[in-house]
Amino acid sequence: MRSLTLHLKILITVLVLLGVAITAYQIYVLEIPVSENETDDLWNIDAKVEFVASSKDPVKVQMFVPPLNRDYVSITESFISNNYGFSVNRADGNRKVTWSARRVSGDQTLYYRLVVTKRSSTEKATAKGPTFRDSLALDGPEKIAAEALMAPIRQHSADVETFVSETIKRVNNLNDDNVKLLLAGDTSPLNKAKVIDLLLSIAHVPMEKVHTVRLVADVPQTPELWLRSFNGKDWLYFNPDTGEQGLPSDRLLWWTGDDNLITVDGGRKVNVTFSLSSSEMNAIRLKRATDENTDADFLEYSLYGLPLQTQQTFMIMVMIPIGVLVILVLRNLIGLQTLGTFTPVLIALAFRETQLGFGIALFTVITALGLSLRSYLEHLKLQMLPRLSVVLTFVVILIAAISLFSHKLGLERGLSVALFPMVILTMTIERLSITWEERGGSHAMKVAIGTLFAASLAHLLMMVPELVYFVFTFPAVLLILVGFMLAMGRYRGYRLTELVRFKAFLKKADS
Amino acid sequence: MFGLIKTWKALEARGIMGINRRNADYVLKYNKRHLYPIVDDKIITKERALAAGIHVPEMYGVIETEKDIDKLDQIIGGRTDFVIKPAQGAGGDGILVIADRFEGRYRTVSGKIISHEEIEHQVSSILTGLYSLGGHRDRALIEYRVTPDPIFKSISYEGVPDIRIIVLMGYPVMAMLRLPTRQSGGKANLHQGAIGVGVDLATGVTLRGTWLNNIISKHPDTTNAVDGVQLPNWDGFMKLAAGCYELCGLGYIGVDMVLDQDRGPLILELNARPGLNIQIANDCGLTQRTHAIEAHIEALAKEGIQEDAAQRVKVTQSLFGHLPHA
């Protein structure tokens, strides 16, 4: 006996640990969201390219598209271009799409559409970049002005980061004569960046221009310029206007370098407009969508790998153990009396189709009518099988009648009755009537109400969408349930109703 | 909530056995599944008992098929009183007790007049499995109707009072007298409204009783005191019950016996899942007694001794008997 207990304890421990471990692995390693309501922002970015093609020459449009190697994952990417050929190629960490067509004329519109989401994992790809470069050639007054600017910058900085941000701040100080000279009256961001680049090159600090798009919905925008420099470990991003370091999280890196966003051969009046919109997506679906692109098929061996129809079935099936657990607790811990063990679970499943309130009403009506028929049949002294057949047929007719009436009355709900399991109803009627005869009406009522209560509770629990999602996504939870059920198998404590049943012992002790 | 915990603790302290404990520690542990048919089928029980020389009510005949029903007349013969039972019935359901004949019809023990056709229908219902545990086909048993000893007249309403003794590994641990009431319809099952009266294991003197989970000391129908009655032939009952372990091999059973005025103690049936209300009837928990027996068996096993039924009765009588009367 003791060895059996030990055996059981080990079994329970193993099952629970296995269940917890698999679930934890799914949550923490595979990063499957714990709740269905967990959603991620999705950004829908449209870049619309418009130009006028000159009818003589072939057209070749080259445009940068996001390289997507940093914090964002693309879910879908599409190049919408009527009768243009297109190709995408990578160069120097940038990605470029090339649309080409031999003979087009008039206004042309091309679309680039990208749906991205933030990468949920925090792991960082090791960045690579230059840490040294040669100075740009300078002479004359510019050289003197640059060197005059460099002296205080060197004084006020300690490393690459502070050096760059100090430089940017100096260049943005438009009252400085040296800056004025270097800018030569042009204070556009691009020119400022050029001057910053110049100054940094004197100190041999490499600098790169970064063009970003801001993830804000419904605001017209053009790519925003940022500067970045490599400090040996990471890229440091700087705002060219303020010298502030760090790229805000809502910036999507579009391309780097000095080149323009778009070059068009054989066309003019080029215009690119960005429009962004955001939407939310169920996290698990998102996960699947992104995985199609990143070919990590971690969901392949989960229940999500099944065909959709089968998934629906399994969503119901994985909940049945939960329903059974409810009955187990109600019967063995509480001591509620029900008709049979699994009848309440089956009734609970039937409630899925009919909804709870209607289901209970229906169940009560059909059972009550069935019981009265059964008590009438009792007078006819029929044998069991014929009697059961009569009751079953009666139940079918009753269900058909209810469906017909409710349909005529315009209650579509009534049609769901058809799926109410007739055999379960028949058996319920039969057993209830036997209980009635043997133990009396009050006991039969008690059992019937107990059954309905257990069924309702099981139904409500089985319908909690969060729970359905959780169990379906993490089926290993069922192992934990089995562990609990095993433990219940050797539970010796009192049932709640026994505390009432044996009250007589206490009354005597008191008096 | 706090009250419930207090109740729990108090019950535990008194050694009251709950259903979960009974099932886990006794029924599942001591009762081997393959032996269940012996107790679940009254015909097998009876055959076994006869083979072992244990007294049971005489069996007049068995009806196994619908065709056999025609033989009912032949089985009954000229007898005016007899009992029809499902072989695998539970809780006394489906039992028909005929006390007399009345102008070609039959009178049941409760005075209801029924026709021969109704009896045949009852037999047919039994055969289709209406009263059997699993709902499968069953056999009907026609047997001797027990006439209760007149000693019970004063404390019994009608029907046959029976004596239930819980036997653990052959050791009787608790006994109760079950008295039918008007509410129970002549049946001796507690959940149907019969009274359970505790019995002192050593002397066979009744203690107070239980009725619908309450402690009582008077019969609700006759208002006679149920306690302090000396049951005749008590040691005979005890030995009969103790011997049932050898008969069926099940370690935890409830033995139901009757005292017939002509034939003395008879075994009616065995129950592999005896109810727990016997504790209320005896105002005593089962757990302490079963633990004591288990300890006793363990001690014996170490010395390699096996006790026979008479010795086992002595052991339990000295352990649990001679309770102060309430």
Tell the burial category of A188 from Cβ atoms under 10 Å away from its Cβ (0-12, 13-18, 19+): exposed
Residues A292 and A396 in one domain: no
Residues A182 and A212 in one domain: no
Work out the pLDDT band at A298, boundaries 50, 70, 90: low
Q: Using the predicted structure, report yes or no on whether residue B288 has a pLDDT greater than 60.
A: yes
Closest residue on chain A to B14 (Cα): A505
Chain A environment of B20 (Cβ under 8 Å): 332, 491-495
Query: Which range marks the domain in which residue A73 is found?
Result: 39-131+207-297
DSSP A242-308: T--BS--TTEEEEEESSS-SEEEESEEEEEEEEEEEEEEEEHHHHHHHHHHHH---TTTTSGGGS-H
The more confident residue out of A56 and A281 is A56
Chain A environment of B210 (Cβ under 8 Å): 504
Of A64-68, A186-190, A427-431, B319-323, the poorest mean pLDDT is in A186-190
SS3 A214: strand
- Chain A (324-353) residues lying within 8 Å, Cβ to Cβ, of chain B: 332, 335
Residue of B91, B128, B280 with shortest CB distance to A384: B128
DSSP A152-178: HHHHT-SSHHHHHHHHHHHHH-TT-HH
Q: CA of A57: how far to CAs of A20, A268, A468, in Å? A: 66, 12, 61
SS3 A136: coil
Token pair of B192, please? 């149907």
Token pair of B82, please? 């007899």
Task: Please report whether residue A26 resides in a domain.
Answer: no
Could you say which of A297, A324, A340 is where a domain stops? A297
Could you say which of A242, A263, A297 is where a domain stops? A297
CA B290/CA B305 separation, integer angstroms = 19
Optimal mutation site among B6, B9, B11, interface A, most CBs of chain A within 10 A: B11
What share of chain B in percent tops pLDDT 90?
Answer: 25
Task: Please report whether residue A142 resides in a domain.
Answer: no
Q: Using the predicted structure, report yes or no on whether residue A507 has a pLDDT greater than 70.
A: no
Output the domain CATH number for residue B247: 3.30.470.20
Task: Please report whether residue A19 resides in a domain.
Answer: no
Question: CB contact, 8 Å: A379 with chain B?
Answer: no
CA A76/CA A86 separation, integer angstroms = 17
The total domain count for chain B is 2
Residues B68 and B30 in one domain: no
Work out the pLDDT band at A266, boundaries 50, 70, 90: confident
CB-side neighbour CA atoms (13 Å) of B15: 12
CA A348/CA A420 separation, integer angstroms = 10
At residue A1, the pLDDT reads: 47
Name the DSSP letter for residue A41: E
Mean pLDDT of B50-65: 89
**For A363-484, where are the E strands, in sequence order?**
none
Residue corresponding to tokens 């372990």 = B245
CA B242/CA B236 separation, integer angstroms = 10
Output the domain CATH number for residue B66: 3.30.1490
Residue of B24, B128, B280 with shortest CB distance to A502: B280
The more confident residue out of A386 and A146 is A386
Cβ proximity of B127 and B71 under 8 Å:
no
Task: Please report whether residue B326 resides in a domain.
Answer: no
At residue B193, the pLDDT reads: 82
Mean confidence (pLDDT) of chain A: 78
Residues A65 and A191 in one domain: no
Could you say which of A297, A322, A357 is where a domain stops? A297
What's the CA angle centered on A354, arms A351 and A360, to 5 degrees?
Answer: 65
Mean pLDDT of A483-499: 88
Q: Using the predicted structure, report yes or no on whether residue A40 has a pLDDT greater than 70.
A: no
CA B262/CA B147 separation, integer angstroms = 8
Chain A environment of B187 (Cβ under 8 Å): none
CA A195/CA A182 separation, integer angstroms = 7
Residues A348 and A418 in one domain: yes
A–B interface: beta-carbon pairs under 8 A: 77
- Whether complex ipTM tops 0.90: no
Q: CA of A92: how far to CAs of A64, A72, A152, A252, in Å? A: 12, 19, 34, 17
Predicted confidence (pLDDT) per residue in B254-276, tens digit: 999 998 888 889 998 888 889 88
Work out the pLDDT band at A511, boundaries 50, 70, 90: very low
Residues A108 and A248 in one domain: yes
Could you say which of B143, B162, B196 is where a domain stops? B143
Chain A environment of B283 (Cβ under 8 Å): 505, 508
Token pair of A221, please? 């925008």
CB contact (8 A) between residue A495 and residue B19: yes
CB contact (8 A) between residue A504 and residue B19: no
**Cβ-Cβ contacts under 8 Å for A15 (sequence gap 6 or more):** A479, A480, A482, A483, A486
Residues A398 and A453 in one domain: yes
Task: Please report whether residue B50 resides in a domain.
Answer: no
Predicted confidence (pLDDT) per residue in B8-20, tens digit: 888 888 888 998 8
What share of chain A in percent tops pLDDT 90?
Answer: 9
CB contact (8 A) between residue A384 and residue B29: no
Nearest Cα to A195, choosing from A150, A159, A154? A150
At residue A425, the pLDDT reads: 81
Chain A environment of B125 (Cβ under 8 Å): 383-384
CA B311/CA B309 separation, integer angstroms = 5
Chain A environment of B14 (Cβ under 8 Å): 505
Residues B106 and B202 in one domain: no
Cβ proximity of A141 and A181 under 8 Å:
yes
Task: Please report whether residue B275 resides in a domain.
Answer: yes
Mean pLDDT of A381-400: 82
Q: Using the predicted structure, report yes or no on whether residue A8 has a pLDDT greater than 60.
A: yes
Phi and psi angles of residue A75, each rounded to the nearest 5 degrees, phi first: -100, -50
The total domain count for chain A is 3
SS3 B274: coil
**Residue A423 host element (H or E):** helix A422-439
Residues B25 and B93 in one domain: no
Strand order across the beta sheet in which A208-214 lies: A235-238, A224-230, A208-214, A251-256
CB contact (8 A) between residue A498 and residue B19: yes
CB contact (8 A) between residue B213 and residue A503: yes
Residues A330 and A448 in one domain: yes
Q: What is the rounded radius of gyration, in angstroms, for the C-alpha atoms of chain A?
A: 37
Residues B18 and B91 in one domain: no
CB contact (8 A) between residue B4 and residue A434: no
Mean pLDDT of A54-83: 77
Closest residue on chain B to A437 (Cα): B93
CB contact (8 A) between residue B19 and residue A508: no
Could you say which of B86, B113, B143 is where a domain stops? B143
Q: CA of A256: how far to CAs of A67, A92, A221, in Å? A: 10, 9, 18
At residue A280, the pLDDT reads: 64
Residues B22 and B128 in one domain: no
Predicted confidence (pLDDT) per residue in A71-128, tens digit: 777 777 778 777 788 888 887 778 888 888 887 777 888 888 888 777 655 455 556 6
Q: Give helix A343-354 / helix A356-380 axis angle, nearest 10°.
A: 120
Query: CA of A15 to nearest chain B CA: how many angstroms apart?
Result: 21
Residue of A439, A494, A504 with shortest CB distance to B8: A494
Residues A221 and A242 in one domain: yes
Task: Tell me the residues of B at the A interface, defined by beta carbons under 8 Å apart.
Answer: 4, 7-8, 10-12, 14, 16, 18-21, 24-25, 29, 91, 93, 117-118, 121, 124-125, 128-130, 191-192, 210, 213-215, 279-280, 283
Query: CA of A375 to nearest chain B CA: how many angstroms apart?
Result: 15
- The b-or-e profile of B71-108 (16+ CB within 10 A means b, else e) is ebeebbeeeebbbbbbbbbbbbbbbbbbbeeeeeebbb
The more confident residue out of B236 and A191 is B236
The more confident residue out of A126 and B298 is B298
The more confident residue out of B289 and A104 is B289
Chain B environment of A383 (Cβ under 8 Å): 124-125, 128
Query: CA of B24 to nearest chain A CA: how many angstroms apart?
Result: 6
Chain A environment of B25 (Cβ under 8 Å): 492
Closest residue on chain B to A441 (Cα): B192
CA B304/CA B315 separation, integer angstroms = 17
Count of CB atoms situated within 10 Å of the CB of A70: 15
Residue of B11, B93, B125 with shortest CB distance to A505: B11
CA B114/CA B107 separation, integer angstroms = 6
At residue A294, the pLDDT reads: 46
CB contact (8 A) between residue B11 and residue A499: yes
Token pair of A273, please? 């407009």
Residues A124 and A88 in one domain: yes
Query: Which range marks the domain in which residue B105 is found?
Result: 58-143
Instruction: Please list the residues that pair with A257 across neighbouring strands.
Output: none
Task: Please report whether residue A408 resides in a domain.
Answer: yes
Q: Using the predicted structure, report yes or no on whether residue A497 has a pLDDT greater than 70.
A: yes
Token pair of B57, please? 């009510």
CA A47/CA A64 separation, integer angstroms = 11
CB contact (8 A) between residue A492 and residue B91: no
Question: CB contact, 8 Å: A504 with chain B?
Answer: yes
Cβ proximity of B86 and B132 under 8 Å:
yes
CB contact (8 A) between residue B20 and residue A492: yes
CB contact (8 A) between residue B125 and residue A383: yes
Q: Using the predicted structure, report yes or no on whether residue A453 has a pLDDT greater than 90.
A: yes
